[in-house]
Amino acid sequence: MVQYTSASFDASFAAISDATRRGVLEQLGRADASISDLAEKFNMTLTGMKKHIAVLEQVGLVATEKFGRVRTCRLGVRRLEDEAAWIERYRQIWDARFDELDRVVEELKRQEKTNGRKNRK
C-alpha cells in the first residue's frame, strides 16, 4: 500500500501552494518532461527547477527517473484524494462499529431503568 499520512497530506498541500509547482503538475499532466525542459518552460534556472521537483517528488506528486544524463519527470502515483479516502475508510469502520455500540448502550440504559443499577448483571 502506498503510504498516506496526514502529515504528508499537509506537505502535499504545501507542495501545491506554489504557483510554479502547480504549473509543473499541469504540464506533466499533459506530457512527461525533463527538468531542463521544465526549467526552460518556466523561465527558471536548472537549480531552481530541481528544488521545485524535489518538493513535489517528496510528497509523491511527481516521480523522476534518470535515463543517461537526463532526469525525466512524470506525475507521481499519489493523488491527494487518496489521503482523504484512507481516513474515510478508517472512519467508516469505526462508525459502523459505534452504531452497534450505540444500540448496546441504549439497551443497557433501558435495563438499568427497569431493574435498577445493582441488579443488571
Partner 1 sequence: MDARTESESTPTSSRTSVERKSEREIIVRRTFDGPARLVFDAWTEPELLKRWWVPKSMGMTFLACEADVRVGGKYRFEFLHPSAAKPMAFFGKYLEVVPHSRLVWTNEESNDGAVTTVTFEEKNGKTLLVVHEVYPSKEALDANGGMENAMPETFSQLDELLVDLRSRE
* Minimal distance, residue 80 CB to partner 1, in Å: 12
Sites of contact with partner 1 (CB under 8 A): 1, 3-7, 9, 81, 85-106, 108-109, 112
Measured in degrees and rounded to the nearest 5, phi and psi for residue 4 equal -125, 125
* Minimal distance, residue 102 CB to partner 1, in Å: 6
Helix or strand holding residue 66 (H, E)? strand 62-67
- CB closer to partner 1 out of 35 and 83: 83
* Per-residue exposure over 24-44, b if at least 16 CB sit within 10 Å of its own CB, e if not: bbebbeeeebbbebbbeebeb
C-beta of residue 81 within 8 angstroms of C-beta of residue 13: no
**Cell numbers placing 62:** 511527481
* Minimal distance, residue 7 CB to partner 1, in Å: 5
* Minimal distance, residue 121 CB to partner 1, in Å: 8
DSSP single-letter state for residue 16: T
- CB closer to partner 1 out of 34 and 58: 58
- CB closer to partner 1 out of 11 and 33: 11
